[in-house]
Amino acid sequence: MADRNARPGSSAPTAAYELEKPSLATARAALQGYFGPHTEDLWLTLLFDAGLTGDETSLRAVSRLIATMQVSHPIARLCARSLAVRVAVYERLVAKGSETEVTT
């Protein structure tokens, strides 16, 4: 299966999966799909509660937002669970890819 996902000439496992780093924009897009025109109010509340500005780019910021979403609106909790899985998978594959590159 990994062979199907690999880009030609790519040796890093993370490149083979072509995963995008989860971001605050990813979280906002997930919420937008459920809340539509009401997303902005919820988004600003979540950012405030998480102590974020919305301009952060680290996985730590995404994790803080996820923690805040997990105690928010029930639909936001579902989005948080989904995002938490994506972050965990991304971190696992990036860490695995880094270890592979160091040892080979």
- Sorted by where each begins, the domain ranges of the chain are 19-103
Question: What pTM, to 2 d.p., does this model score?
Answer: 0.76
Q: Are 26 and 20 in contact (CB under 8 A)?
A: yes
Return the higher-pLDDT residue of 3 and 58.
58
pLDDT digits (tens, 9 = 90+) for 25-50: 999 999 999 999 999 999 999 999 99
